[in-house]
Structures are given as structure tokens and as C-alpha cells.
Amino acid sequence: MQRIGDSPRVRRVLVGLAIFFSALFLLLPLVAIFAQAFAEGLEMFWANLSDEYTLAAIGLTLFVAALTIPVNLVFGVFLAWLVTRFAFPGRRLLQTLIDIPFAVSPVVAGLVYLLLYGRNGWIGGWLDSHDIQIMFAWPGIVLVTIFVTCPFVARELIPLMQAQGAREEEAAVTLGASGWTVFRRVTLPNIKWALLYGVILTNARAVGEFGAVSVVSGSIRGETNTLPLHVELLYQDYNTVGAFTAAALLALIALFTLAAKAFLEWRATRRENAA
């Protein structure tokens, strides 16, 4: 078959350029993270890792992710069900609204939460008088993280559920299944892998969010310092190796996310080819 650009020379040049630039802009930074983290040897790496404040930051980060994921999971599934299984006025608007967190700068996201829940804010004032603190405490971090990561699950589900259509669910309803049964026995098996990837993406972003969290956290060491904030703190303290040790942990999560995506895609194409 003749295709444009399939002469060996063009092909070698383009593949060469692609690999060169990808290595320079993507691979090199990735390598640098781990090189810096282990710059002073494995022992130092472990010492940095088992530092009291680093452990606290890891704990808080996992805690925030653990709260964020179920909330966005439930919301994402409901939204996807709503916009792919029903036609109603305002459906497109809903789909546009859900993309707002992608368009909003993380600092602006943090700011609007600060305005709302801060001491001078609409709700914050009332909360303050009841001695409930949200800003500069973990609830604030959780809230902005939910904001920033809310589109991911829905974004993964909507195209898939749209492509699959509602026939199978309608068939289940005609067979007398209840709503929950339809979802659990028909919908869920079809969307579980997309759902899983949505969760993995949500997790990656929740664990790594920096801008929005730095606005609402107050960065109190050992208390409201998440892992990305801890990276910044160590870096500003000129503890480069320490900063990169924490960064390497985050990079591992990123690599896991990429591997999960590659695996799920490989699985999907394999099933397509089998069909």
C-alpha cells in the first residue's frame, strides 16, 4: 500500500526527530527525578523517606485521595448515567459545566474556595462562629481536590457509555430488572475498566495537585502539608535530595498511572481484535 511519507528517508528522519525530542523533553526529566533522589545513595534516600514530616505528608496525601475518590466516583457515575441515558434540555450545558475545572487555573480554584470558606467568606463567617475551620486545614484541601478532580471519572465514562448505547439496559428493564440490578448486572460490567482508569486518573491528580492546595493549605509542617507542598518546602530549604525523594514517590504514582493506561488500552485492542 502506498501512503504519504512512507519513503524510508522521510520515515527515518521523522522517527528520529520524534524520539530525540521525546527523550529530551520527557524522558530526561523523568530520569533526572530519580537520579537526584538517589544522588546521595540509597541510605540517604531511606533517611529522607522516613523523615517524620515526609511521612506525615504521605499520610495526609493518601487521606485526601481516599476521601476524594469515592465522592467523585459516585458523582461521575451519576453524571455519566444522566447525560448518556436520558435526553433533556440543558444536557449539553451540563457537559460543558463539568469541564470548568480543566479551564480554571488551579490558583483561581483555590482562591474561590478561600473566598467562600475563609473567615471573611459567605459560609466561612458562619462556620468560624461555630468554631469549624475548613480553610488552612484538611477539609479545605479535600474540597479543592474534589473540585479539581471532579471531571475525570465522568470524562472517561461518557464517551464509552455513549458508544455502547442504552439497548442492553433497556433489554434488562423489559426483563423486569430494577434500577440497581440493571446498573450492577448490565452497566457496571461494561464500564468497569473505564471506571477503573477514571479512578486512577482521579487519584493521580488528587495526589499531585499543587496550585489549588497551596492556596488553601497554609502549609503547616506535619499538619496541612501534602506531598507536593512538602516537595516545594524542601526545595525552598535547599534540601534538593529530600525534595526529589518526595518527588520520586509522586513520579512512581505517575508511572503507575501510565502503565495502567497502557495496560487497559492493550486489553481493549486485544478484545477488539478478538471480536
Contact status, residue 99 vs residue 149, Cβ threshold 8 Å: no
- Judged by CB under 8 A, which of 38, 53, 138, 183 binds another protein? 183
**Does 273 engage in binding with another protein (CB under 8 A)?**
no
* Cell numbers that stand for 43 in this block: 541510605
DSSP secondary structure, 91-157, as one string = HHHHHHHTTHHHHS-HHHHHHHHHHHHSTTSHHHHHHHHTT---TTSHHHHHHHHHHHHTHHHHHHH
- Select 56 or 145, whichever has its Cβ closest to another protein: 145
Judged by CB under 8 A, does residue 254 bind another protein?
yes
Give residues 115-144 in contact with another protein (rule: CB under 8 A): 115-116, 118, 120-122, 143
Q: Which stretch binds another protein (CB under 8 A): 11-19, 47-55, 129-137, 188-196?
A: 11-19
x/- contact string, 187-226, with another protein (CB under 8 A)?
A: -----------------x--xxxxx--xx-----------
CB of 84 to another protein, least distance (A): 10
Angle between helices 106-117 and 138-149 (to 10 degrees): 130
Q: Which residue of 55, 66, 94, 132 would you call a contact of another protein, by CB under 8 A?
A: 94
Residues 6+ apart with CB under 8 A from 260: 196, 197, 200
Question: If binding is defined by CB under 8 A, does position 95 make contact with another protein?
Answer: no
The secondary element (H helix, E strand) that includes residue 52 is: helix 52-85
Quick one: which of 64, 141, 194, 250 contacts another protein (CB under 8 A)?
A: 250
User: CB-hemisphere CA count at 13 Å for 243?
Assistant: 12
Whose cell is 434540555? That residue is 89
d(CA 60, CA 48): 17
Nearest distance from C-beta of residue 5 to another protein, angstroms? 6
Nearest to 152 by CA among 191, 188, 197, 93: 197
Among 48, 57, 113, 134, binds another protein (CB under 8 A): 113
Q: Which is nearer to another protein, 47 or 115 (CB)?
A: 115
Q: How far is the CB of 60 from another protein (least distance, A)?
A: 15
Q: Does 242 bind another protein (CB under 8 A)?
A: no
Residue type, 272: E
- Contact between 166 and another protein (CB under 8 A)? yes
| 56 versus 79: smaller Cβ distance to another protein | 79
Please pick, from the candidates 237, 258, 268, 270, the single residue that binds another protein as defined by CB under 8 A. 258
Rounded to 10°, the helix 240-274/52-85 angle is 30
When asked if residue 56 is in the footprint of another protein (CB under 8 A), the reply is: no
Q: How far is the CB of 117 from another protein (least distance, A)?
A: 8
Q: CB under 8 A: which stretch of 62-70, 102-110, 125-133, 134-142 binds another protein? A: 102-110
Quote the Cα angle for 38-253-195, to 5°. Answer: 170
